[in-house]
């Protein structure tokens, strides 16, 4: 099967999952910070577990080699900070934005446009291209001439880390479950196209889509390439053509189709408009997400947290620390204001 169909199928499945699970990493952080609501945090943990075990199993079986992101000290940190600022301005993330946009929220369509413009400025012939180059390759950090990963840094077999991390995350899930039972938090009932999927089903489904993308050998080590996809489509305005042999481009088209169909079938699709004063924040927040993701080596919250941290990429670990370290305090600050 060629990249056109694989990329579209993966994107379509991802669109359905994020729409049905109402999955957004910024919302996960916000819910946890403000109300100690763990539901989307649980979905993220489950997605991480499934992805980590699946990726390392496929690598060990010789089906698909691990391909962790490299660590550009400048790009990984500065890009992550810009990405976190962008999330704070839009109130969304790399997948939460299309999820809302393709439910009919015009404000998030504007944020997607901002992502496309930001990505275009940093990838194609925009003024940010030289800055991106200066903050990436010259600042690359390697371990013994290879991509910097946690297992290489510690000098241990990757499966030892898989087991340690899995045990810690399962322990955390058990603690969350006990806390929710003690607080008597009701569990929402839902069907496939009725209500919102629960966190366990959402997380496992997201992890399975990751594994499909990774096993295909056609994608950048799992889900990712979203900003490049949006930027490539935007670039088509000037080149008068959109390449359909590019993973990111086909993937984001698949996300749109999957999310729109899912929203229509479930009755969640309705056109809504943002207040006019919100439009600048949505657009420029989207631009920062696009620029930040490119700077951080194609590093959005999904590519880093659910695709490459499970491969123990130090670059992705550092980027996620700075994404969360930027967005989380701003969530608290905005709530006080």
For 231, the token pair is 């930027």
CA distance 318 to 292: 14
Higher pLDDT, 156 or 187: 156
Q: Is the pLDDT of residue 220 over 70?
A: no
Is 90:285 a contact under the CB 8 Å cutoff?
Answer: yes
CA distance 61 to 281: 47
| pLDDT, tens only, 153-171 | 999 999 999 999 999 999 9
- What average pLDDT does range 282-308 have in this prediction? 91
Q: Which residues, other chains included, contact 15 with Cβ-Cβ below 8 Å and sequence gap of 6+?
A: 98, 99, 102, 254, 255, 256, 257, 258, 259, 260, 261, 262
For 323, the token pair is 């994404």
- What average pLDDT does range 302-307 have in this prediction? 90
The pLDDT value recorded for residue 257 is 97
CA angle 243, 249, 255 (to 5 degrees): 145
CA distance 290 to 230: 9
- What average pLDDT does range 285-314 have in this prediction? 92
The pLDDT value recorded for residue 216 is 87
Q: Which residues, other chains included, contact 86 with Cβ-Cβ below 8 Å and sequence gap of 6+?
A: 118, 285, 286, 287, 288, 289, 290, 291, 292
CA distance 300 to 311: 15
The pLDDT value recorded for residue 244 is 79
Residue identified by tokens 């966190």 is: 199
- What average pLDDT does range 105-110 have in this prediction? 98
- What average pLDDT does range 79-87 have in this prediction? 97
DSSP symbol at 140 = E
For 142, the token pair is 């390697």
319: part of which helix (H) or strand (E)?
Answer: helix 314-336
- 188: pLDDT confidence band, cut at 50, 70 and 90? low
| pLDDT, tens only, 226-249 | 999 999 999 998 888 888 788 889
The pLDDT value recorded for residue 213 is 92
Q: Which residues, other chains included, contact 262 with Cβ-Cβ below 8 Å and sequence gap of 6+?
A: 15, 16, 19, 20, 193, 268
CA distance 181 to 313: 35
The reported pTM is 0.94
The 146-147 sheet, strands edge to edge: 71-72, 140-143, 146-147
DSSP symbol at 198 = -
Q: Is the pLDDT of residue 1 over 60?
A: no
Strand partners, 318: none
């Amino acid at each position: 099967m060629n990249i056109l169909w694989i990329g579209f199928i993966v994107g379509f499945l991802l669109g359905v999952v994020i729409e049905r699970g109402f999955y957004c990493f910024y919302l996960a952080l916000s819910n946890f910070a403000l109300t100690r609501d763990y539901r989307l945090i649980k979905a993220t943990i489950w997605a991480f577990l499934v992805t980590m075990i699946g990726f390392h199993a496929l690598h060990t079986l010789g089906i698909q080699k691990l391909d962790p992101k490299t660590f550009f000290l400048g790009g990984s940190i500065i890009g992550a900070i810009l990405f976190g600022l962008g999330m704070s301005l839009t109130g969304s993330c790399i997948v939460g934005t299309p999820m809302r946009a393709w439910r009919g929220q015009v404000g998030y369509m504007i944020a997607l446009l901002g992502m496309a413009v930001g990505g275009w400025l940093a990838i194609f012939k925009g003024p940010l291209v030289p800055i991106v180059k200066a903050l990436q390759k010259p600042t690359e950090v390697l371990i013994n001439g290879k991509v910097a990963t946690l297992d290489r840094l510690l000098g241990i077999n990757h499966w030892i880390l898989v087991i340690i991390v899995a045990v810690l995350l399962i322990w955390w899930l058990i603690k969350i479950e006990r806390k929710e039972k003690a607080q008597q938090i009701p569990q929402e009932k839902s069907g496939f196209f009725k209500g919102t999927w629960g966190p366990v089903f959402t997380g496992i489904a997201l992890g399975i889509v990751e594994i499909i993308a990774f096993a295909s050998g056609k994608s950048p080590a799992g889900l990712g390439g979203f900003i490049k996809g949006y930027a490539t489509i935007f670039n088509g305005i000037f080149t008068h053509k959109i390449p359909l042999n590019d993973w990111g481009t086909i993937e984001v088209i698949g996300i749109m189709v999957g999310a729109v169909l899912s929203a229509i079938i479930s009755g969640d699709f309705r056109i809504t408009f943002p207040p006019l004063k919100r439009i600048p924040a949505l657009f420029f927040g989207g631009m920062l997400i696009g620029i930040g993701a490119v700077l951080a080596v194609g590093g959005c919250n999904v590519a880093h947290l659910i695709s490459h941290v499970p491969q123990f990429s130090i670059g992705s670990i550092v980027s996620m620390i700075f994404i969360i370290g930027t967005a989380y305090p701003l969530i608290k600050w905005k709530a006080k204001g």
